Structure 1
Amino acid sequence: MKIEDFDFDLPEELIAQTPLKDRTASNLMVLNREDESIEHRTFSDLLDYLQPGDSLVLNNTKVLPARLLGTKEETGASIELLLLHQIEGDRWEVLAKPAKKFKEGTTIHFGDGLLTATCVETLDQGGKIVEFDYEGIFLEVLNELGEMPLPPYIKEQLDDQERYQTVYAEDPGSAAAPTAGLHFTEELLNKIREQGINIVYLTLHVGLGTFRPVQVDDIEEHDMHAEYYHLSRESAEQLKATKENGGRVIAVGTTSIRTLETVMRDYGELKEASGWTDIFIYPPYQFQAVDGLITNFHLPKSTLIMLVSAFANQNFIMHAYHEAIRERYRFFSFGDAMIIL
């Protein structure tokens, strides 16, 4: 398929710049794959579409304060780093801005020297490998110096950094939030459990793939960046039991669906597994693990809208996006959501 098949015109004012005060107050578009019908609801109505015995799959990754603003040791020039993932020890893959000023051997200082980063390698895809130097515990230093890595289309200041974390975030390692999960509150999760619906957790640390646009006309030529995932034995067994008992597996977010489909692809069953996945899901694709999907509204021409188009139907999804624009839905990370069943 061609990249133009996933393009649409989005008015800039529909890009949500700030989160709503109430996480569950977002609009919820309900898509029925069978009859291609659309309903307009509120996210707090989610319980109306879940059934006892279903399993809701959440990505419990935690966003690192991965944006670091520093100065070059030699010139004092400003350079920004975005941490993507830990390679080994104090070596990390990062994005640098401006990348041209951060060459191999260059050192950047953060927080009056509390932390330094030296570039040790430039990667083919534009990333850098850096070695950090500091005293104490790295995550504590990062919490002191780092900022939340909001996407570039968000121009407003985020007053409460925790609004770019899910309420169930637990495992630090992401460079971006799994944004479909931002709509949940502890109260809503408790109501879901009380209705006999299983809450199942997995981990996928969101990395460079979130920030890389598709730059080829033929989408089959696009290379995904690998991201680390983990599915526990307990979660895998719960999901297998859900399927065996006739329940539905409903993934919250594209990260959850990519993890489950990776495990099915690699092992032929849902089992305890961890590793790196570069799975790229686009139409046509036969899903093996998932019966439903909760997701936000994504960027034009992105791998995320391609995945959603594979789960439903490309024409149906593009129609739904155009309807969302007509109905003034809010788009992207702090925007509204859809559930596809």
Structure 2
Amino acid sequence: MKLSHFNFKLPEELLADRPSDIRDEARLMVLNRKEQTIEHKLFKDVIDYFDEGDVMILNNTKVFPARLYGNKEKTGARIEVFLLRELNEEQRLWDVLVDPARKIRIGNKLYFGDDDTLVAEVIDNTTSRGRTLRFLYDGSYKEFRNKLTELGETPLPKYIKREVEPEDEERYQTIFAKNEGAVAAPTAGLHFSKHLLKRLEIKGVELPEITLHVGLGTFNPVEVEDLSKHKMDSEEIFIGPDAVETINKGISNKKRVCAVGTTSMRAIESSVSSSGTLNEFSGWTNKFIFPPYDFSIANCMITNFHTPKSTLLMMVSAFAGHDFMKKAYEEAVKEKYRFYTYGDAMLIL
């Protein structure tokens, strides 16, 4: 399929810049692939579609406050620094994006915080906006990371034009977030409340956790019409033995196995055995899923509503069927569902 197959008109007012008032009361569109039906529910109704022994795979990555603002030495120019990934703990080297990039060259120093106790030196150019920074801080590694957290800001996506608000620190994080390392939230998981998770647990639904640290590459635009030529950025995955055992048991018992989010789906599809079961995994994936694609692990998926031409839309189209997904998105626009990070959800059965 071509890039142009995934274009559609999305009214700007449907881009959600705030979360729903209550996590599990976002809207939920339910797609039944076999019956080709569409239902309109609330997210908390998701429990009605799962029974004892069914499996929901959760991504427990935790977003860290990746957006910092520093001042360039001498000029004092304000520079945004977006932390992408740590390269070397001992040397405190990080891959970052800087904005405005034209002002930042190798050898420049940036000063952070009112007291300038945290300093970074630019030691390499990686892309037009990418830089490698060496952070200079007079303290232990733990104290350094605490300083980054103190100075950092919740990394809301750029499409959200408003200032970061206090509630974003909690709402741009799933309630099961544990393993820090993501620079963007696994958004389908944002709809789960403690109450809903407890109800699922009581009903006997299995809730194994895996980790995929979401990077900004997930949101990079596709710039080639031929999708086979698009290269995804790599993201780090951890799939442990307990999750593998629970998920494979669900597969062998022919239960509903549901990937919560494109991140969970990408993780499990990156570690499939020759017999179509899940393997343990610790490493990186640059897997790009687009139609046509045969899924091996999950037979069900929860996801948000995605933007035109995005790799996320391509994945869910591969899962639901391109024509059915096109029809569902037309319905979503007509019914004014909310799109993107803080938007509404879809359950694909």
- Equivalent in the alignment of 2:185: 177
Aligned counterparts of 2:257 and 2:241: Cα–Cα separation in 1: 16
Q: Secondary structure at the match of 1:319?
A: helix
Q: Secondary structure at the match of 2:24?
A: helix
Higher mean C-alpha displacement, 224-233 vs 137-146: 137-146
Q: How does 1:76-91 map to 2 (within 5 A)?
A: 76-89=76-89, 90-91=92-93
Q: Secondary structure at the match of 1:194?
A: helix
- Equivalent in the alignment of 1:280: 288
Instruction: State the shift of 1:213 in Å.
Output: 1.0
1:133 aligns with 2:136: yes
Aligned counterparts of 1:266 and 1:64: Cα–Cα separation in 2: 36
Aligned partner of 2:265: which letter? Answer: I
Instruction: State the shift of 1:311 in Å.
Output: 0.6
Aligned counterparts of 1:192 and 1:252: Cα–Cα separation in 2: 14
Residues 271 and 318 (structure 1), Cα distance of their counterparts in 2 relative to 1, 3 Å cut: same
Aligned counterparts of 2:121 and 2:273: Cα–Cα separation in 1: 38
Aligned partner of 1:114: which letter? Answer: T
Aligned counterparts of 1:109 and 1:208: Cα–Cα separation in 2: 24
Give the paired residue count: 341
- Equivalent in the alignment of 2:150: 144
**Which residue of 113, 117, 120 maps to 2:116?**
113
Q: Secondary structure at the match of 1:206?
A: coil
Instruction: State the shift of 1:125 in Å.
Output: 6.9
The answer (yes or no) to whether the contact 2:219–2:311 under 8 Å persists in 1 is no
Instruction: State the shift of 1:267 in Å.
Output: 9.3
Aligned counterparts of 2:213 and 2:18: Cα–Cα separation in 1: 23
Q: Secondary structure at the match of 1:332?
A: coil
Aligned counterparts of 1:253 and 1:117: Cα–Cα separation in 2: 35
Instruction: State the shift of 1:210 in Å.
Output: 2.7
- Equivalent in the alignment of 1:48: 48
Aligned counterparts of 1:222 and 1:126: Cα–Cα separation in 2: 20
Aligned counterparts of 1:71 and 1:101: Cα–Cα separation in 2: 11
Q: Secondary structure at the match of 1:263?
A: coil
Aligned counterparts of 1:318 and 1:92: Cα–Cα separation in 2: 40
Alpha-carbon displacement from aligned partner over 1:191-243 (angstroms, at most 9, x marks no partner):
00111100110101111313311111222111100010100111111111111
Alpha-carbon displacement from aligned partner over 1:238-265 (angstroms, at most 9, x marks no partner):
1111111221210110000000000116
- Equivalent in the alignment of 1:22: 22
Aligned counterparts of 2:34 and 2:308: Cα–Cα separation in 1: 25
- Equivalent in the alignment of 1:254: 262
- Equivalent in the alignment of 1:304: 312
- Equivalent in the alignment of 1:339: 347
- Equivalent in the alignment of 1:155: 161
Q: Secondary structure at the match of 1:96?
A: strand
Q: What are structure 1's unaligned runs of at least 5 residues?
A: none
Aligned counterparts of 2:215 and 2:13: Cα–Cα separation in 1: 27
The answer (yes or no) to whether the contact 2:273–2:279 under 8 Å persists in 1 is no
Higher mean C-alpha displacement, 275-284 vs 13-22: 13-22
Q: Secondary structure at the match of 1:147?
A: coil
Aligned counterparts of 1:264 and 1:102: Cα–Cα separation in 2: 43
Aligned counterparts of 1:262 and 1:279: Cα–Cα separation in 2: 7
Aligned partner of 1:57: which letter? Answer: I
Residues 211 and 79 (structure 1), Cα distance of their counterparts in 2 relative to 1, 3 Å cut: farther
The answer (yes or no) to whether the contact 1:18–1:156 under 8 Å persists in 2 is no
Q: Secondary structure at the match of 2:339?
A: coil
Aligned partner of 1:142: which letter? Answer: L
Structure 1-normalised TM-score?
0.97
Aligned counterparts of 1:208 and 1:125: Cα–Cα separation in 2: 15
1:321 aligns with 2:329: yes
Instruction: State the shift of 1:266 in Å.
Output: 8.7
1:94 aligns with 2:96: yes
Moved over 3 A (4+): 265-269
Aligned partner of 1:216: which letter? Answer: V
The answer (yes or no) to whether the contact 1:237–1:271 under 8 Å persists in 2 is no
The answer (yes or no) to whether the contact 1:204–1:255 under 8 Å persists in 2 is yes
Q: What are structure 2's unaligned runs of at least 5 residues?
A: none
Aligned counterparts of 2:97 and 2:5: Cα–Cα separation in 1: 29
Instruction: State the shift of 1:79 in Å.
Output: 0.9
- Equivalent in the alignment of 1:64: 64
Higher mean C-alpha displacement, 177-186 vs 259-268: 259-268
Aligned partner of 1:103: which letter? Answer: R
Instruction: Tell me the C-alpha RMSD between the 2 structures.
Output: 1.5
Aligned partner of 2:233: which letter? Answer: H
Aligned counterparts of 1:133 and 1:93: Cα–Cα separation in 2: 15
Aligned counterparts of 2:219 and 2:131: Cα–Cα separation in 1: 15
**Which residue of 84, 102, 105 maps to 1:103?**
105
Aligned counterparts of 1:150 and 1:235: Cα–Cα separation in 2: 29
Alpha-carbon displacement from aligned partner over 1:29-67 (angstroms, at most 9, x marks no partner):
000111221000100101111121111001001100000
